[in-house]
């Protein structure tokens, strides 16, 4: 790939990104499913591309973007992560529920995928392990795990992961809104008596002037350095630090070479952020803007991955994918609502909506479901999830580890997932279970 070809690829990406954005603006029902513009643009590119209509030629390089960009995307997640012990204790009830869901999806997903592969023997190895990443982190985490599988010689799992993430978003909103209406009628909601309709700008369109905000704050004079250049420097330095760490470990442990690209980003982000804090340089890091850059790169990964979906594979195995989605989503719903009702003394219903939305779609769907019963943003559920994300940021490493484990069988993945789920539920029952709430 030359600089010229890369520039040409970015032009095509930009065109389809805008196409997806305006399609989302015009077709209002799409907004209610919280499908991002990058996903819509990628699907349009897929339809117009070589696999379907053949009107547009999708560059072969599109399939390689996730391999390169996933490291800085995950590195950015570690910037700004700080742990507050008091909040950990205060929000442990929610943490137990959400992490139990994660462990369940890891265990059940791998096992269910293997069982369905007996009926549909052509399913790629390890495809069932993609569910926990697709449902828990959406298209970004699915891309990370899919890229690891690609490095291991199973690129088909990337396509499956993207489809699972899309199905998860749809199920999250449909089933989630059903639970919103049931909960309000039964009096479970603390803040409202009727499901709240959101303002139109919440789903799309131009934001009102009083709702617009900066994507970051400058930290030094532009005479010294452009703000984007400085923050990009921090982010890419994190990727470099991760690479150097892997190379250093490789001097003593040859097997480190099996660790995927995603581990470089996670390790590098942790190193650079904590090193900057140690020497008091975090004042030069604009965490919000770095997360915005990560979001931009994620949009590119989602669009290019959707544009290069393996349609033959998906059409062949659409039935097991749908069955898998419905089973995992149903069990997720039971743990989210059952666990929160048992463990959470305050706002159990709002926390359950958050846990279910995040566990089948992404953070945005969880927030949307909570917002439906909390129009004035009084609920502590979003704050609970923020603390959970900080405390459990280490779980992002599973996107690199689980595919490696799956190469040698189901045991490690299912075992770790089962133990994680059992321990979290055990802690919840021991510390928080309320008599009469079962």
250 found inside a domain: no
pLDDT recorded at residue 417: 95
Asked if 39 and 139 touch (Cβ cutoff 8 Å), the reply is: yes
202 found inside a domain: no
18 found inside a domain: yes
pLDDT recorded at residue 433: 79
Work out whether the CA dihedral 372, 373, 379, 383 comes out positive or negative. Answer: negative
Q: CA-to-CA distance for 73 and 403, rounded, in angstroms? A: 19
Tell me which residue range forms the domain holding 123.
3-196+285-431
pLDDT recorded at residue 87: 60
Query: What is the chain's pLDDT, residue by residue, as a tens digit (438 residues)?
Result: 688 888 999 999 999 999 999 999 998 888 776 677 888 898 899 999 998 899 999 998 887 787 788 788 878 878 887 766 666 666 788 999 999 999 999 999 999 999 999 999 999 999 999 999 999 877 778 888 888 898 889 989 998 998 898 888 888 878 888 898 888 888 888 876 665 566 778 777 888 888 888 888 899 998 999 999 999 999 999 999 988 888 887 777 665 555 556 677 878 888 999 999 999 999 999 998 998 898 888 888 888 878 887 788 788 889 999 999 999 999 999 999 999 999 988 889 999 998 998 899 877 778 778 877 876 667 878 777 777 876 777 787 888 889 999 999 999 999 999 999 999 999 999 988 766 555
The total number of structural domains that make up the chain? 1
pLDDT recorded at residue 437: 56
Q: CA-to-CA distance for 197 and 278, rounded, in angstroms? A: 46
21 found inside a domain: yes
Under DSSP, the state recorded for 122 is T
Output the DSSP codes for 36-69: -HHHHHHHHHHHHSTTTT-SS---GGGGGHHHHH
Quick one: which of 117, 164, 156, 159 has its CA closest to 137?
164
pTM for the full model? 0.73
220 found inside a domain: no
418 found inside a domain: yes
167 found inside a domain: yes
């Amino acid at each position: 790939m030359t600089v010229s070809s890369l520039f040409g690829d970015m032009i095509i990406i930009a065109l389809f990104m805008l196409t997806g954005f305006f399609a989302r603006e015009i077709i209002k029902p799409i907004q209610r499913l919280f499908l991002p513009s990058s996903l819509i643009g990628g699907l349009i590119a897929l339809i117009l591309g070589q696999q379907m209509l053949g009107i547009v030629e999708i560059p072969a390089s599109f399939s390689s973007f996730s391999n390169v960009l996933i490291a800085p995307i995950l590195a950015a997640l570690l910037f700004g992560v700080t742990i507050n012990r008091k909040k950990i204790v205060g929000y442990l009830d929610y943490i137990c529920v959400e992490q139990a869901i994660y462990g369940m999806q890891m265990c059940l997903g791998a096992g269910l995928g293997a069982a369905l592969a007996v009926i549909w023997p052509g399913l790629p190895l390890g495809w069932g392990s993609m569910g926990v990443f697709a449902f828990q982190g959406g298209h970004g985490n699915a891309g990370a795990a899919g890229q690891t599988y690609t490095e291991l010689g199973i690129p088909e799992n990337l396509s499956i992961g993207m489809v699972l993430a899309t199905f998860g978003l749809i199920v999250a909103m449909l089933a989630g809104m059903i639970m919103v209406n049931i909960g309000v009628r039964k009096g479970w909601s603390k803040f409202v008596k009727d499901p709240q309709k959101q303002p139109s700008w919440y789903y799309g369109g131009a934001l009102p002037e009083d709702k617009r905000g900066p994507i970051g704050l400058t930290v030094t004079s532009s005479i010294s350095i452009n703000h984007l250049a400085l923050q990009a420097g921090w982010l890419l330095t994190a990727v470099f630090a991760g690479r150097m760490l892997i190379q250093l470990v490789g001097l003593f442990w040859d097997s480190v070479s099996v660790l995927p690209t995603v581990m470089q980003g996670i390790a590098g982000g942790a190193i650079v952020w904590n090193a900057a804090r140690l020497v008091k340089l975090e004042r030069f890091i604009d965490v919000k803007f770095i997360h915005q850059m990560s979001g931009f790169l994620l949009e590119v990964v989602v669009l290019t991955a959707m544009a290069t979906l393996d349609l033959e594979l998906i059409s062949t195995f659409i039935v097991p994918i749908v069955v898998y989605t419905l089973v995992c989503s149903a069990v997720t719903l039971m743990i989210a609502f059952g666990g929160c009702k048992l463990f959470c003394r305050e706002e159990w219903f709002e926390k359950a909506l958050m846990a279910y939305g995040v566990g089948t779609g992404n953070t945005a769907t969880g927030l949307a479901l909570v917002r439906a019963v909390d129009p004035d943003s009084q609920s502590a559920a979003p704050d609970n999830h923020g603390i959970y994300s900080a405390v459990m940021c280490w779980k992002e490493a599973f996107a690199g580890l689980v595919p490696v484990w799956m190469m040698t069988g189901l045991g490690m993945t299912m075992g770790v997932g089962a133990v994680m789920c059992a321990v979290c539920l055990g802690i919840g029952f021991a510390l928080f279970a309320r008599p009469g709430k079962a």
